[in-house]
A and B are shown apart, each in its own frame.
Chain A
């Protein structure tokens, strides 16, 4: 079998281990300590922020405009309207700002 196939296969196993591993480790404990629970509750915002923050820093006016509109729409609308509004502003702004 090709090297590429082995990279895909081992990469897939490594990825599955990350997806099942957290649960397998945590479920060994009978009671979850309040601090651990506080940490777990913070996980989604913490991780998702890291996927946004560096991109925001390296962005230009078109991207910032899109993010600001996304944030404003989020105060009222749901995820889909928020995403479409942001994407529309981005595409529109890029026609002018590049």
Chain B
């Protein structure tokens, strides 16, 4: 009886420590995202209050929408007294790219229990998708505990820093000298380059870059995101599948 129990205990301990190390593995990978998004959370809070939001409303928007670019757009339009339905539609447009992330990551997390999946989709941001997808591509499993370790710190810091930004907003010094407005493109460039070993990477990036720039100049923001993305994805769809390495898979 006793050896059996000890065996069971040690198996439990191993799986528990495995889960714990999975969690911290995710936390470690979340740190660049936490650092990169901090200025934007602070900036969002500051701009939100400046545009007529209360501190609580800025906090709530970060906690419920949890999508930086769309929150910035929403705040901007709110400050311009645009009709509420149009603000919501703009938030939807900026976030529409998540449909593609959702379809992509859905293949990796379909085996999770439904509630875990529901939570997983709630925290599915750009970097969350990029890092989780990169892990799946490298052949490692995308488990719930790891995924939560990756996403939870980003979420918690994002919401708290939004509130702090709202409270202390007007105290932020020269944001231009600190490069705050350009940190996000640098970060996204890093993510794009991280995918450079994928088949068709260069043609897809070139197509998306060209289409998004043209859309940005003509249709305007935020539609350049959806239009540019669709151009790159369409290119991969239209070219014969063997170019994408899909047919070569076992």
Q: Is there contact, CB below 8 Å, between A7 and B177? A: no
Number of interface residues of A (CB under 8 A): 68
Is B124 an interface residue when CB atoms closer than 8 A count as contact?
A: yes
Q: Is the interface of A mostly helix, strand, loop or mixed?
A: helix
Among candidates A3, A26, A45, A57, residue contacting B195 with C-beta atoms closer than 8 Å:
A45
On whether A44 and B88 interact (CB within 8 A), knowing A39-B236, A52-B185, the answer reads no
Interface residue from B35, B65, B130, B176 paired with A48 (Cβ < 8 Å): B130
Contact pick for B212, options A15, A19, A50, CB 8 Å = A50
Inter-chain contact A83/B36, CB cutoff 8 Å: yes
When chains A and B are docked, how far (Å) is the Cα of A74 from the Cα of B189?
Answer: 9
The answer to whether A46 touches B190 (Cβ under 8 A) is no
Q: Name the interface residues of B209-244: CB closer than 8 Å to any CB of A.
A: 209-213, 216, 221, 224-225, 227-239, 241, 243-244
Residue B22 lies at the interface, judged by CB distance under 8 Å to chain A: no
Partner of A74, one of B188, B194, B213: B194
Contact with A along B54-72 (1 / 0, CB 8 A): 1001001100111101100
- B9-17, B101-109, B141-149 - interface stretch: B101-109
Complex contact B103–A26 (CB within 8 A): yes
Known interface pairs A18-B92, A46-B228; A23-B102 also in contact (CB < 8 Å): yes
Residues of B near any A CB (own CB < 8 A):
31-32, 35-36, 52-54, 57, 60-61, 64-67, 69-70, 74, 78, 84, 87-88, 91-92, 95-107, 110, 117-118, 121-122, 124, 126, 129-130, 133, 176-179, 182-196, 198-201, 204-205, 207-213, 216, 221, 224-225, 227-239, 241, 243-244, 246-247
Q: Using CB atoms and an 8 Å cutoff, list the residues of chain A in contact with chain B.
A: 2-12, 14-27, 32, 34-57, 59, 63, 66-67, 70-71, 74, 79-80, 82-83, 86-87, 90-91, 94-95, 98
